[in-house]
Structure 1
């Protein structure tokens, strides 16, 4: 008998909620009470007042079963949900749609930095933000901890211009700061997208694979990248996999070479140092950037070997600059988490400094925010402490996907904060970026850190950054990366001229 009783109470609660939710029903009760009181029917007035209270109690207390309309139910889960939405558009003649794959950049680093529970909260808030940029008829499905699939409501034609507008909106809505454990985090997402592949044997499956290939392509081009699907992207992924088998030989043979990009004082435009940047001259794919190499290096376990190569080449180049009479105060070497976990790191740096007669304060070590923010292992902490004790400068890079608590900045005594190029791009026309940059520079100044802005494209940007109080700048607006011998020539020519080199005089490498 228990089940029928539960069903009855659920029915009563459901009916009470349904009826009392209608304003015309509620309006009847005071009318009945007043009428009964007017004609002297006190019992009717009493019963009505008590009955209303009882019905309200039923509406709140009794377990009413709620029926969610099918159109609002989140029944589309995973790829099956996306496939269902794509099949529906395929079946409709003259209709098109867009499938998008969105993934949070540097997800493994976010987990390592903030912990798994906090990372899941970040993913949930990212999903919520994505939903705010979509229409009610669009479908969003979660495909993993950090990946989301989207199928837009059908449309007459999913032209590239329309897709660009949508993807840009999705990218922007995820970039606002997120508060996490007392710090502020900025994330970015990679996005790949494809229109409906209607001519394929299985349009829905082909469209999903196309969007996934486009996402992979986007991720190969760095954080925050967006790519539309184009024929041949699958072959590009195979090529990337092949690189991982070739990278070790490239390091041994010298095919991966270290180039140098000047850094100058924003106020005086004097050269204050150079950044060491690895490039791979591949016989088939041409010159590959660090972002294009990273996946192959990690897959092959060669990140540590790259770090040792950079230390050797950069210190040798700095000694060569001195011998050639090119005034380069310091070289900045970017080291990965693998490098900082190397127990021999300090010995390696000491040996190279002695070999080329360099003071330790001329060798700056550049680390990422993810490396030092949280969960740094004992070896990393010990190496960072030894670097400071030896006199090395520590530069901190802060990509969009990271944030650093103030205690971490103080703990590791960071000397210089490197401002990401994404914040510099469009600085003079975007008030929000201008405000964010002012706040960053003010924070660094308050903590006695210097700042260096990357990705500076013009001298106007340099002048604007100088007015904001930025200390150093780096980018094509100063000079492109060069080989060591080219850099020495560039510095000597600059010194001889006694003024900044004109744009058409800059070495292009």
Structure 2
């Protein structure tokens, strides 16, 4: 019976069968007229077109013609074909794209939400590619693209394509009656830059370029060259290099200012780790923090950041700049240390600073996911001794109101995933308003992270956020540049764009 169905389906899929079926309608009309059975004609007019059209296989979506199933085999085959087509006038390239901050997206939207985001991105990316290009989703958050037949010189065309792909990814993506906003980092390798003329070499070089781009921060793009970061598939040697860099003083604190939305005055700085690599330049923490975590060296990093922060605070005081506090991030490893309080107190006393001038930043996930007695005791002891407590990346975890009260949190830092395009998206505004209203009811200040535009600054002020931090204020900078920035900010504060916040 099943075989008959298959054969019948094959017969009806033929175009000749479609013509035969439609031609049969007049014949059936004659039979119906002669016999008076008009119901037969009515059923035939309905059933035949439905049958003929309904069993025909669905046409593939034209905007996904470039998409292939995942796996290195498929993309390597496409890259080999692209290499075979290359000549002196046209060359090929490999490109890799990856979602920035995938863990944050996973925490906020869940696996199903990330799947929706990737599906939407697939449609958008395919719509920007040529019919001969090939795109493969290599894993949960990464795409690999084969770009054949690019007219020489190809560098400008590839960079222009990356800009268009990143732009189309920025638009809002509907997820569960809300809008998600994402960015893509990109790495690419031109045919003539790959170490060898093979698909594997192109793909691996694009991967190295992508890792380099990710280390530079969100929505970065890098091309492969001979000086691109070496393969990090040897974690032991890389971990040793990072640890050596930390011991040699190559990993230092950069500082990003926080300002009041009421007055525009500087209310503090956050100390952020940066690696001054001797050959690769400044490397963002997203690249080297995993190595330090694996080596159980996060306490050494926080100790380094704390000393740099306190040293900077003393220098700002000497220079006559009023900086109320400096924030330092402390990881779970730090908070599990029974001697943490004594260590912090010794450093703060050594620099003759009041405890209120040090802000301890703790991830919301640490508060929401840990019932560790030592962690609880340390956080509460820090608050009792006068240190300020900031709950970082609020909205990405599930900290309860009871925990926020229990740990005596001074400020909630609203994660930048809520801030992005808040001036354009009413749903983002409602989420921010809910967080700020909750904080107001609890007597807690709020800090908006990742504020990048004047529009975002304006809406956050109107919604009642008390502090802001982000590129719209200033990018993270080394200590010596903070002195220049503070002087300029003090001189030109009256001209700086800030918006008095909404009063309760």
Is TM (by shorter chain) over 0.5?
yes
Conservation of the 8 A alpha-carbon contact between 2:137 and 2:144? yes
Q: Within the alignment, does 1:227 sit opposite 2:222 as a pair? A: yes
CA distance in 1, matches of 2:494, 2:285: 27
Name the counterpart of 1:506.
Answer: none
Work out the number of aligned pairs and report it: 480
Q: Within the alignment, does 1:141 sit opposite 2:170 as a pair? A: no
Name the counterpart of 1:277.
Answer: 272
Deviations 1:118-151 (A, max 9, x none): 6556555544553444455432212223322112
Report deviation, 1:439: 6.0
Question: Given the superposition, is the C-alpha separation of residues 410 and 65 from structure 1 closer, same or farther in structure 2, using an over 3 Å criterion?
Answer: farther
Deviations 1:439-466 (A, max 9, x none): 67645532334334657799x9989976
Name the counterpart of 2:72.
Answer: 79
Conservation of the 8 A alpha-carbon contact between 1:260 and 1:487? yes
CA distance in 2, matches of 1:230, 1:106: 25
Question: Given the superposition, is the C-alpha separation of residues 322 and 205 from structure 1 closer, same or farther in structure 2, using an over 3 Å criterion?
Answer: closer
Name the counterpart of 2:154.
Answer: 159
Q: Within the alignment, does 1:404 sit opposite 2:432 as a pair? A: no
CA distance in 2, matches of 1:97, 1:147: 20
Q: Which residue, out of 76, 82, 90, partners 2:83?
A: 90
Q: Within the alignment, does 1:99 sit opposite 2:90 as a pair? A: no
Question: Given the superposition, is the C-alpha separation of residues 6 and 120 from structure 1 closer, same or farther in structure 2, using an over 3 Å criterion?
Answer: same
Conservation of the 8 A alpha-carbon contact between 1:261 and 1:482? no
CA distance in 2, matches of 1:187, 1:397: 20
Q: Which residue, out of 189, 192, 195, partners 1:194?
A: 189
CA distance in 2, matches of 1:37, 1:275: 85
Conservation of the 8 A alpha-carbon contact between 2:254 and 2:476? no
CA distance in 2, matches of 1:422, 1:468: 13
Name the counterpart of 2:357.
Answer: 362
Moved more, 159-168 or 228-237: 228-237
Conservation of the 8 A alpha-carbon contact between 1:333 and 1:366? yes
Question: Given the superposition, is the C-alpha separation of residues 396 and 223 from structure 1 closer, same or farther in structure 2, using an over 3 Å criterion?
Answer: farther
Question: Given the superposition, is the C-alpha separation of residues 276 and 73 from structure 1 closer, same or farther in structure 2, using an over 3 Å criterion?
Answer: closer
Name the counterpart of 1:210.
Answer: 205
TM value normalised by structure 2? 0.71
Conservation of the 8 A alpha-carbon contact between 1:494 and 1:501? no
Conservation of the 8 A alpha-carbon contact between 1:258 and 1:314? yes
CA distance in 1, matches of 2:46, 2:179: 49
Question: Given the superposition, is the C-alpha separation of residues 373 and 230 from structure 1 closer, same or farther in structure 2, using an over 3 Å criterion?
Answer: farther
Deviations 1:78-110 (A, max 9, x none): 222122222223333554343211223344565
Report deviation, 1:29: 5.2
Q: Give the gaps of 5 or more residues in structure 1.
A: 504-509
Name the counterpart of 2:437.
Answer: 446
CA distance in 1, matches of 2:98, 2:125: 11
Question: Given the superposition, is the C-alpha separation of residues 78 and 251 from structure 1 closer, same or farther in structure 2, using an over 3 Å criterion?
Answer: closer
SS in 2 for 1:100: strand
Q: Which residue, out of 285, 302, 307, partners 1:307?
A: 302
Name the counterpart of 2:253.
Answer: 258
CA RMSD of aligned residues (A): 5.3
Report deviation, 1:171: 2.3
Conservation of the 8 A alpha-carbon contact between 1:342 and 1:379? no
Question: Given the superposition, is the C-alpha separation of residues 240 and 246 from structure 1 closer, same or farther in structure 2, using an over 3 Å criterion?
Answer: same
Report deviation, 1:358: 5.1
Report deviation, 1:238: 9.7
Name the counterpart of 2:4.
Answer: 8
CA distance in 2, matches of 1:263, 1:89: 49
Report deviation, 1:216: 1.8
Question: Given the superposition, is the C-alpha separation of residues 488 and 387 from structure 1 closer, same or farther in structure 2, using an over 3 Å criterion?
Answer: farther
SS in 2 for 1:192: strand
SS in 2 for 1:412: helix
Deviations 1:274-317 (A, max 9, x none): 22233455556666554565355345442232113323443465
Q: Which residue, out of 381, 386, 396, partners 2:380?
A: 386
Conservation of the 8 A alpha-carbon contact between 2:257 and 2:473? no
Q: Which residue, out of 4, 27, 34, partners 1:32?
A: 27
Conservation of the 8 A alpha-carbon contact between 2:187 and 2:221? yes
SS in 2 for 1:451: strand
Deviations 1:6-51 (A, max 9, x none): 32221113334656994x656545533432344x2457x7776777
Question: Given the superposition, is the C-alpha separation of residues 12 and 373 from structure 1 closer, same or farther in structure 2, using an over 3 Å criterion?
Answer: farther
